[in-house]
Amino acid sequence: MGRFVLRRLGLAVLTLWLLATIVFVGAHVLPGDVGRRILGPFAAPEAVATLNHQLGADRPLAAQYWDWLSGAVRGDLGESLSYRVPVSSLLGSAVLNSLKLALVAFVLVVPLGILGGIAAGLFRGRAVDRIVTVGGLSATVVPEFVSGIVLILVFAVQLRWLPVTAQAPAGSGLGTQLRYLILPAIPLVFVLFGYIARITRAGMVEALEADYTRTAVLKGISQRTVIARHVLRNALLPTIAVVATQTGYLIGGLVVIEFIFNYQGLGQLTFQAAQKLDFPLLQGTVMVMGIVFLLTTLVADIGYSLLNPRIRYGRTE
Amino acid sequence: MEELQHRVDKIRAGRTGLDNQLIDELVAGRISRREFIRRGTVLGMSLGVLGFLAAACGGSSTPSSTATSAAGAVRKGGTMTVGIIAPSAAVNPLTVADEGGLAVLGQAGEYLTWSDDKLNLQPVLAESWSPNADGSVWTFKIRQGVTFNNGQPLKAEDVAKTFKTHSDPKGGSSALSAFAGVLKPAGVEVVDDQTVDFNLDAPNGNFPYLVSSDNYNTIILPANYDYAGKYESSFVGTGPWKMTSFKTGAEVVYGKNPSYWQSGSPNLDTVTLKFYADEQPRVLALQGKQLDVVSQFSASTGQPLFNNPGVKVLELRSVAHRQVHMRTDKEPFTDKRVRQAIGLLLDRPALVQGLLNGKGDLGNDSPFAPVFPSTDTSVAQRAKDVEKAKQLLAAAGKSSFTVTLATWNGYEIPLLAQTIKEAVQQVGGTINLNVTNPSTYYGSAVFGKSPWLDSTMGITDYGHRGVPNVFLSAPLTSAGPWNSAHFKNSGYDALVKEYVAAIDVQAQKAASKKIEELLLDESPVLFPYFHFHMSGTQTNVAGVEPTAMGHIRLTKTGFSG
């Protein structure tokens, strides 16, 4: 297991370096330059040239790349070209915000999705099954900006039960922060519920029909014990992989939700960095997202192998 | 009556020849009261004097209030939350180029003059100003007894340094394009402790707008301020608000500036400007009572606010517009009859109604918006005439043509592009749309590297300005840096020089009439409409002063009742 983890970590570093290089090249292939993006199309070319010089954006690309890379290795992600503050200061609060929202969404959707999937699997072909599968699929295809705005109009504007925005006032307690995050988490529940429930259901159906389940039943073990000890343990394996892959989306991919609920998370920050060609900030956000993806996949793989004794990475063959 | 005349004579005796010329125009009935007041403010006359003269010489009423949200009875104290567009970059007076950034600059910072919602100029850090005879030198008297919020007193040197920096080609200021051909750093001269002269490159009758809030980068900063530094760490300025906290991308919180020069102001104790990266959440937050004020929203997104009894909508006529350019050096637009025909295919009243919910003025294919006092409204409005368009195209031998229209996906622009495409289809023309994002459309913003400047046909968005000078020169003169139509007409260039140099309103109007007629005839660029600027407040908020430029002045703002 140790070797497996080390090997995966080594690959992760390589992946991050490749990611940074691709983003750097991509950002410089796009038309325009950072000075022009900041000052706008109507600024005088002399002003744009002066700003680019002040920002160091007129230096050779190789020098810019090396400066960034050597800084990043030392843990210094540089200064945002558009906001003129350290990238780390912008990333810190954005990552924290994204983690909070992801956590609330996770706490809501994972149990709901798994329970829904279990119920659908146990009562296959019955009303519960149809409600979970059809309802879940229908909710998944509703875009976040539609469900988000409808939820705001109903629960924040009309009923005034919950706030319109996701950002709680500075210094708010846990309860207040939670209150602000419930509404933006619901569209995410809509998007993910159907997915998790269907995977769990498929796992349940497969496990219920498996030989080991039939054997357990024939041994005279009670249905409850069979489900808890044999069916669920096997049925949930694919669900873990699915949940893990969605973590990256929940932390870095919520651009639309963050815009609608005016939430300063990682998705919005990445979008703005890309718009401005703010290369150090874009690199920083992409790095964080890359790390989140790699870590969650690693944790899922480890969890998967622990739950399934037949799989032992690193010792195969 | 005799006493009234005596007072008028006394005022006239103390005014310059140009001021008296303007008063003569009013007395003779050649200009309206509105034009008189607005032009008088440009020449440096106070609103009080102008109101008295307007009533005594040309009418009966006094100047209307400039507070768009009537101040009414406002109680002192309170905390207000205002939703504004998120500044797109660091709030630096040198580089701000967006509505969010300028809204922030205008809180702790102040300008020499304030261009209000009626396009009048009000004195702020300049107490008075006046031009020389030909408008090539403007003298500004600086207000005395003002201190910056860091305790430094305001001096003429501070004003001079501010404008030297912004007009310096090597200074990197976003305002540089406004000063191009108008002012160089050497032209800014400190005469004495309270006087600054601006020696211009050429006579300019509208120069005071270039040192007003219209040229939003030019908040007055101390002479020892380091423009390369981080403004967000200090928010130094002479304005009514002093920053207490700033969070990049999220908000800025202000308390009262205890040393503010206008005693008793501001009314509120605390103001929070909350940044919104998108328009929809701002509107929803106002509906959900999480915001007291929203600085700006568009007619399409803000539709739920128009008939909402719980919200007050502040509507300002503006000169912000879209320009539809047609390259005069590329087929099929080399023949002006083709360009005229496209102009005749647009149903402008329907565009204003359909795309802007009626919140706009009709355009007449020149930058002269109806709201500019110098606009000659006697020039006939171009109206939809499909038959005439067909005739013109047939005469030009262009009964069928194909062209690509480039633009970007924002506001109502794609809908305007689609409408033009459908209108042209009626006469056998084909327009292919190339709608991209703003970064792609504007590209490097120089000829040869920008679909905006290189495309055969395109739609570009222009913001508000207090005077038409920039719109007349940059996108339309032969050497204009934004001349996407590649329009080269020496007669037009000469008329623009004439207009810019004109100091008295009659000379301005005479030039504007000729420009309007020439542009209608040549039609290098279509100006379908000028859209309004809209802000919103809760019903218990009063005294908010938005401008079409995007400022939101909160000095008189407070809660009513």
Secondary structure string (H, E, C) spanning B474-543: CCCCCCCCCCCCCCCCHHHHHHHHHHHHCCCHHHHHHHHHHHHHHHHHHCCEECCEEECEEEEEECCEEC
The Cα–Cα gap between A99 and B465 comes to: 43
ipTM of the complex: 0.86
Nearest CA in chain A to B282: A262
Q: Do B281 and A164 touch (CB under 8 A)?
A: yes
Please name the member of A41, A47, A164 whose beta carbon is closest to the beta carbon of B176: A47
| B303 and chain A in contact, CB less than 8 A | no
The pLDDT of residue B66 is 41
The pLDDT of residue B351 is 97
Please name the member of B172, B282, B284 whose beta carbon is closest to the beta carbon of A51: B172
Please name the member of A32, A44, A149 whose beta carbon is closest to the beta carbon of B444: A32
Find out whether B339 and B345 touch, Cβ atoms under 8 Å: no
Task: Please name the residues between 122 and 141 in chain A that touch chain B, using a CB distance below 8 Å.
Answer: none
How many Cα atoms are found within 13 Å in the side-chain-facing hemisphere of A120? 27
Nearest alpha-carbon partner for B129 in B31, B19, B238, B6:
B19
According to DSSP, residue A248 is labeled H
B253 contact partners, CB below 8 Å, separation of at least 6: B243, B244, B245, B246, B270, B271, B272, B273
Give me B446's structure tokens.
């120089």
Residues of chain B with pLDDT under 70: 1, 58-72, 561
| A159 and chain B in contact, CB less than 8 A | no
The CA distances from residue B458 to A40, A129, B348, B434, B442, in Å, are 18, 54, 18, 9, 11
Please name the member of A36, A149, A269 whose beta carbon is closest to the beta carbon of B444: A36
The pLDDT of residue B153 is 97
Nearest alpha-carbon partner for B138 in B150, B121, B154, B151:
B121
> Which range has the worst mean pLDDT, A242-251, A274-283, B85-94, B543-552?
A242-251
Task: Please name the residues between 165 and 204 in chain A that touch chain B, using a CB distance below 8 Å.
Answer: 165, 167, 170
Question: Taking the CA atoms of chain A, what radius of gyration do you get in angstroms?
Answer: 24
> Other CB atoms closer than 10 Å to residue B143's CB: what's the count?
20
B225 contact partners, CB below 8 Å, separation of at least 6: B161, B236
The pLDDT of residue B63 is 38
Give me B161's structure tokens.
């340094």
The Cα–Cα gap between A313 and B18 comes to: 90
| A157 and chain B in contact, CB less than 8 A | yes
The pLDDT of residue A317 is 39
**Optimal mutation site among A84, A263, A282, interface B, most CBs of chain B within 10 A:** A84
Q: Do B274 and A32 touch (CB under 8 A)?
A: no
Please name the member of B89, B276, B281 whose beta carbon is closest to the beta carbon of A83: B89
The Cα–Cα gap between A53 and A74 comes to: 25
> Would you call B321 helix, strand, or coil by DSSP?
strand
Task: Please name the residues between 211 and 240 in chain B that touch chain A, using a CB distance below 8 Å.
Answer: 228, 230
Q: Do B95 and A272 touch (CB under 8 A)?
A: no
Nearest CA in chain B to A34: B444
Neighboring chain A residues of B294 at a CB cutoff of 8 Å = none
CA distance B113 to chain A (A): 22
Q: Do A157 and B288 touch (CB under 8 A)?
A: yes
Q: Quote the longest CA-to-CA distance of chain A.
A: 85
Nearest CA in chain A to B310: A157
Q: Do A30 and B446 touch (CB under 8 A)?
A: no
Please name the member of B95, B177, B250 whose beta carbon is closest to the beta carbon of A42: B177
Q: Do A50 and B249 touch (CB under 8 A)?
A: no
Q: Do A269 and B249 touch (CB under 8 A)?
A: yes
> Which range has the worst mean pLDDT, A21-25, A83-87, A160-164, B239-243?
A21-25
Task: Tell me the backbone φ, ψ of residue B253, rounded to 5 degrees.
Answer: -110, 135
Find out whether B248 and A83 touch, Cβ atoms under 8 Å: yes
Answer positive or negative: Cα dihedral of A230, A231, A232, A236. positive
The Cα–Cα gap between B236 and B362 comes to: 41
Please name the member of B248, B290, B439 whose beta carbon is closest to the beta carbon of A163: B290
Sheet strand arrangement including B541-542: B74-75, B558-560, B541-542
CA distance B164 to chain A (A): 14
The pLDDT of residue A228 is 83
Neighboring chain B residues of A45 at a CB cutoff of 8 Å = 445-446, 481
Find out whether B121 and B209 touch, Cβ atoms under 8 Å: yes
Nearest CA in chain B to A278: B89
Find out whether B548 and B68 touch, Cβ atoms under 8 Å: no
pLDDT, mean of residues A141-169: 91
The answer to whether the predicted template modeling score (pTM) of the entire model surpasses 0.95 is: no
Neighboring chain B residues of A157 at a CB cutoff of 8 Å = 284, 287-288
Task: Tell me the backbone φ, ψ of residue B212, rounded to 5 degrees.
Answer: -105, -175
The pLDDT of residue B1 is 60
Task: Tell me the backbone φ, ψ of residue A190, rounded to 5 degrees.
Answer: -60, -45
The pLDDT of residue B555 is 94
| Environment class of B520 (CB within 10 Å of its CB; exposed 0-12, middle 13-18, buried 19+) | middle
**Optimal mutation site among A262, A270, A271, interface B, most CBs of chain B within 10 A:** A262
Nearest alpha-carbon partner for A37 in A310, A307, A290, A277:
A277
Angle at B509 (CA atoms; ends B508, B513), nearest 5 degrees: 120
Task: Tell me the backbone φ, ψ of residue B295, rounded to 5 degrees.
Answer: -70, -35
Please name the member of B177, B289, B452 whose beta carbon is closest to the beta carbon of A44: B177
Mean pLDDT across chain A, nearest whole number?
Answer: 88
pLDDT value at A209 more than 70: yes
The CA distances from residue B76 to A81, A192, B42, B292, B418, in Å, are 41, 50, 33, 16, 50
Find out whether A94 and A88 touch, Cβ atoms under 8 Å: no
Please name the member of B173, B290, B445 whose beta carbon is closest to the beta carbon of A164: B290
pLDDT, mean of residues A266-273: 92
Answer positive or negative: Cα dihedral of A277, A280, A283, A284. negative
The pLDDT of residue A301 is 79
Nearest CA in chain A to B470: A42
Answer positive or negative: Cα dihedral of B231, B233, B239, B245. positive
Task: Write the single-letter amino acid at B483.
Answer: N
Question: Chains A and B: how many Cβ contacts under 8 Å?
Answer: 133
Pairing between β-strand B270-276 and β-strand B79-85 as defined by DSSP bridges: parallel
Neighboring chain B residues of A90 at a CB cutoff of 8 Å = 248-249
Task: Please name the residues between 328 and 387 in chain B that touch chain A, using a CB distance below 8 Å.
Answer: none
Q: Do B284 and A149 touch (CB under 8 A)?
A: yes
**Optimal mutation site among A28, A29, A42, interface B, most CBs of chain B within 10 A:** A42
Over pLDDT 70: what percentage of chain A?
Answer: 96
Please name the member of A54, A157, A160 whose beta carbon is closest to the beta carbon of B172: A54
Task: Write the single-letter amino acid at B496.
Answer: V
Nearest CA in chain B to A275: B439
> Could you please report the per-residue DSSP string of B26-93?
HHTTSS-HHHHHHHHHHTT--HHHHHHHIIIII-SPPPPPS-SS---SEES--EEEEEEEPPSS---T
| B88 and chain A in contact, CB less than 8 A | yes
